[in-house]
Chains A and B, each alone.
Chain A
Amino acid sequence: MTEHKQEWGTRFGVILAVAGSAVGLGNFLRFPGQAAANGGGAFMVPYFCALLFLGIPIGWAEWTMGRYGGRKGFHSSPSIMGVVGKGAVARYLGVIGVLIPLAVSFYYTYIEAWCLGYTWRFLTGGIGIEAGAPVAEQTATAARFYSDFTGRDENGVLAGGSYATFFFWLITFAVNIGLVYRGISKGIEKFCSWAMPAMAVCATIVLIRVLTLGTPDPSLPEQNVINGLGYMWNPNFSALGNAQTWLAAAGQIFFTLSVGFGVIINYASYMKKRDDVVLSGLTASATNELFEVGFGGLITLTASFVFLGLSGTIAAVQGGTFGLGFTTLPVVFAHMGPFGNLVGATWFFMLFLAAITSSISMYQPTLAFFQESLGTSRKAATTLMVSICVVGSFLVMYYSKDGIFWSAIDDWVGTFLIFILAMVQIVCFSWIFGIERGWKEAHQGAHMQIPGVYKIVMKYVAPLYLIVVFVAFCVQNLGAWVKGVADEPLRQGALLLVAATTAVLVICTYVGTKRWRAAGLDVDGRLPPND
């Protein structure tokens, strides 16, 4: 089916690649904001519940399905879901597992380019914030730079003269495609093998710097590291009685682990029959949690609190993920003295590494799908994927005003469809493939035993948990989202792009199904693997 059989070189390769896919900007920027806004330390109660009963079990299901599909010669979500879900319905629903990474890559690479651009700026003198200026003025300077750099003020960032952004996107996109083109072992695995440790080193440097800040301004003794940690971690137990807290925790776990994204199923399909998936899946999840709780939970808001105080940090949290990362933190770095720019460059380079290990995991499933469905060479499949990505990314970069265009894709594809795919995956695994068969399959070559109670969790608890979270999510957001699309032509344009991309993927799946049948492959999962 492929020119050369692709597979992981080492057992660590797939673990680091999946962990790299999961660790992204959200670990360092979204998680602390969500925790602080939803009960502080108390947020960790629903957070760990969601990890144990939702994230880890669905992750195990996805790893197992991926490896099983790979044993039958398939490497893409539609073909593997067709096998596990035994038919055309599951196969076409599996198209979502290619659509999500592909559509998200349209804007993700653009945001990744911001991180690279900020790294470069901090290495070459910063973004123009004057160290002695009042905080309000510094924040305004950071906000102005952010708007200019990302084209938030008006559409047409390319035509408007912000060539630096385009230049950094070009570098980022080329590096991504180059890595994916080199293949699973020589490209993705090799890169993640140094990028993940490098990210950990960068995070440790920044963490040590933040935790040793003490009380930088003696005239403001309450703005110190301990109080900063207290802002993030002091528990507010009344939040546990609020459904929003549980919803936010489940949502955070769900998005941070990359489950229901279509990536794990593709990466696991390159594993061998006797490769472990149970311990590998758990290790990848644990690594992601280390970056999220162990680094993100200690760095971001603590640094903000120490320099900007309580009101400044509350405003930063309300400003959302990108406001915190690209407007507030540059101000914080400006307060760090002579090494501020170096710490800033280290921070944004770490975000860049976090982003690129995620974005390469978005391109690989698409590439594998085009190769597999159309029967083309890696080169031809890469050309097709690049063509689609260039169109999608150019539209995202052109319609840059207030990030409306890409936010619409993020809402409908990067959020809504993830719930749907995860639901399809856990139902196919536990109910159609069968929990007993799935359990046996998961434990082939396993280095650890999954506790027996997880049979019940995977069959009943996780799907129910998912349904409750999804319904609550829809009640809370769907009305506003639908109205947002009806009122805003840019959002309509974004959904048109998603619809066109979906049409291409559905046609490819149709063509692929005919090819696979003609080649005598077990497309509907009626036979056991013949390895």
Chain B
Amino acid sequence: MTILGWIFMLGSAGAVWGMTGYCFYRVLTAPEPPPEEPQHFHSA
């Protein structure tokens, strides 16, 4: 395995692990969407 081989392997694997970790972190910490507005009218 050459130095460049290590760089490409660790760079590629690191990129996808990093991207997945970042995305899941963002999904887990994102606020819940507000509830859908009701489709019927409320009386006072």
Q: Which residues of A contact B (CB under 8 A)?
A: 11-12, 15, 40-42, 44, 48, 226-227, 229-230, 232-235, 272-276, 279-280, 282-283, 286-287, 289-290, 292-294, 297-298, 445, 447-448
Contacts and interface: CB of A to CB of B under 8 A. Distances in A.
Interface residues of B, number: 25
Interface in B1-44: 1-2, 4-9, 11-13, 15-17, 19-20, 22-24, 26-27, 30, 33-34, 36
Contacts, number: 95
Given A234-B1, A272-B33, A447 B16 contact: no
A445 B9 contact: no
B40 to A, nearest CB: 14
Interface of B: 1-2, 4-9, 11-13, 15-17, 19-20, 22-24, 26-27, 30, 33-34, 36
Nearest to B27: A283
A302 to B, nearest CB: 10
15 contacts: A42-B8, A227-B1, A229-B1, A229-B5, A229-B9, A230-B2, A233-B12, A272-B36, A280-B27, A282-B23, A286-B19, A286-B20, A286-B23, A298-B9, A445-B33
A280 B36 CA distance: 19
Contact of A297 (B13, B26, B30): B13
A454 B37 CA distance: 32
Given A273-B36, A283-B24, A447-B27, 19 more contacts: A12-B27, A41-B8, A44-B8, A48-B12, A232-B9, A233-B6, A234-B4, A234-B8, A235-B2, A235-B8, A274-B33, A276-B33, A279-B27, A279-B30, A283-B20, A289-B16, A289-B19, A294-B16, A297-B9
Contacts of A48: 12, 15
A40 B8 CA distance: 9
Given A12-B27, A447-B27, A298 B1 contact: no
A384 B12 CA distance: 45
